A and B are shown apart, each in its own frame.
Chain A
């Protein structure tokens, strides 16, 4: 399984999760876990997704989601889960 972390940070607005999830469903990306909170008025969400069946290159998905984020006024980042595992676990 190829796990990717998608993090979304920005001003809260309607439809952020809906729009991100639609993109993920369209691209055969399965959501494994979602956590979401509002910190000082800022929407903060982290998704752990499975990109094993993703048909396009990782970089293309990352830039697609960045554009979705721009349209919503939030910052969306896609990063391989391994980097966080390496950094934060012994």
Chain B
């Protein structure tokens, strides 16, 4: 039988160590909504989302109330819209109509983000893919809750450099389109390599074509809990350190597993996966950087950071896999800058640079995340950053991503306030040397030799 210490431990995790379930994300297939008529397509999309996700928020709140653990976000991911809108969208403006429909549906069901304004173009772009990508700046300007993602490469296909070039331009255009909000549109736009079909986390969530009609995916969190427990074993060996992280990750993930099964049962929608992630928030004490410091670094970014992060990421997975029946999504520690107070502090004191963050992305999920850079950074340089991250993902057979914000009108030394869960960020310096001639080559980078496994 449950004893008092176990109850008190769980409640302390919630009250003092910011334990929560980060998101219940309902994946919804919209392929059947495709139609030659844009109005009909929009209506079908709106009706399907608002009927399937009608009770999502209420069910999430009920479960949260009954277990006494917050479930922070209730969200929806959908089939990449370039597939759904291909038959009826003939201009970027047509795709923006769908974005507005999605935004209205998200507001109707009360979710804070809807992901899947996306295109998967790892090898080539269809006409619809390109129209969707060209519509992103305007779509981000006129909507509030829509997240957009574009997958530009994979280990099996190589990297679509034409898409990489276009995404550099698209990110700049999105920054311009949303300049009145400190270019916030770019905070809801991510470029991926090896994007998973079942990711519950924004901005990269979409409901891949390998998925069922509807599915419940859950993203767990808990950097504060890991940080707190590591304080109690200060200075112990790596064996003790790793065992402690594993056991903590197990407990955190079990909460997610329970929430996912309950949500699935109550909504009558199958359970998909648990995403084992340490996802920080701007709240003090909910930081991955703080865990790295507790492991033994003066600041995140100091020599040893990549090794400490590799260790952390691996132990979280080892503990989490045992706790969940199906694991998927991104599954690993997140290192967004603006959403993690410890990372912000490390950038501000000069300990953490863009190059070190890039190295860190080799050993954890996902990539260069929520990083503000000067607004006058050339589009080709942004494409270069994307290409570097995509290459890391392609060669290491892992997901990588770039969510970078060239803040129009701001430069190194300025700070950008995104508000809410997106936090704030110091504008970071970017290597000033050009990669224009590299980016302006046409075509794609071939798949790496180790992808040919058949």
Contacts and interface: CB of A to CB of B under 8 A. Distances in A.
A26 interface: no
B65 A58 contact: yes
Contact of B66 (A7, A79, A88, A90): A79
A44 B4 CA distance: 9
Interface string A1-27: 000010101000000000000000000
Given A46-B4, A77-B11, A87 B255 contact: yes
Nearest to B9: A88
Contacts of A82: 67, 258
Contacts of A55: none
A77 B1 contact: no
B65 A83 contact: no
Determine which residue in A77, A81, A82, A88 has the highest number of CB atoms from chain B within 10 A of its CB, and name it: A88
B429 interface: no
A33 B251 CA distance: 24
Contacts of A87: 6, 10, 251, 254-255
A35 B2 CA distance: 11
Contacts of B62: 58-59
B6 A7 contact: no
Contacts of A79: 7, 66-68
A77 B257 CA distance: 22
Nearest to B68: A79
B437 interface: no
Nearest to A59: B65
Interface residues of B, number: 22
B449 interface: no
B66 A84 contact: no
Contacts of A9: 8
B94 to A, nearest CB: 44
A86 B258 contact: yes
Contacts of A86: 254-255, 257-258
A84 B4 CA distance: 10
Given A77-B11, A86-B254, A87-B255, A59 B66 contact: yes
B69 interface: yes
B4 A83 contact: no
A62 B65 CA distance: 8
Given A87-B6, A87-B254, A88-B6, A80 B1 contact: no
Interface in A35-60: 35, 37, 44, 46, 48, 58-59
A85 B6 CA distance: 9
B255 A77 contact: no
Contacts of A46: 3-4, 7
A37 B2 contact: no
B151 to A, nearest CB: 34
B257 A48 contact: no
Interface in B143-161: none
Contacts of B2: 5, 48, 81, 84-85, 88
B67 A83 contact: yes
A7 B10 CA distance: 11
A8 B125 CA distance: 60
A59 B58 CA distance: 12
A33 B65 contact: no
Given A58-B66, A86-B258, A33 B11 contact: no
Given A37-B4, A83-B255, A88-B6, A77 B66 contact: no
A86 B6 CA distance: 11
Nearest to B6: A88
Contacts of B65: 58-59, 62
Nearest to A77: B68
Contacts of B10: 83-84, 87-88
Interface of A: 5, 7, 9, 33, 35, 37, 44, 46, 48, 58-59, 62, 77-88, 90
Given A79-B66, A84-B7, A87-B251, 20 more contacts: A7-B7, A7-B8, A35-B4, A37-B4, A44-B8, A58-B65, A58-B66, A62-B65, A77-B11, A77-B68, A78-B68, A79-B7, A79-B68, A83-B258, A85-B2, A86-B254, A86-B258, A87-B254, A88-B9, A88-B251
18 contacts: A5-B2, A7-B11, A35-B3, A35-B4, A44-B8, A46-B4, A46-B7, A59-B62, A62-B66, A79-B66, A79-B67, A83-B67, A84-B6, A84-B10, A86-B254, A86-B257, A87-B255, A88-B251
Give the 3 A-B CB pairs with smallest separation, nearest first. A79-B68, A83-B67, A46-B4
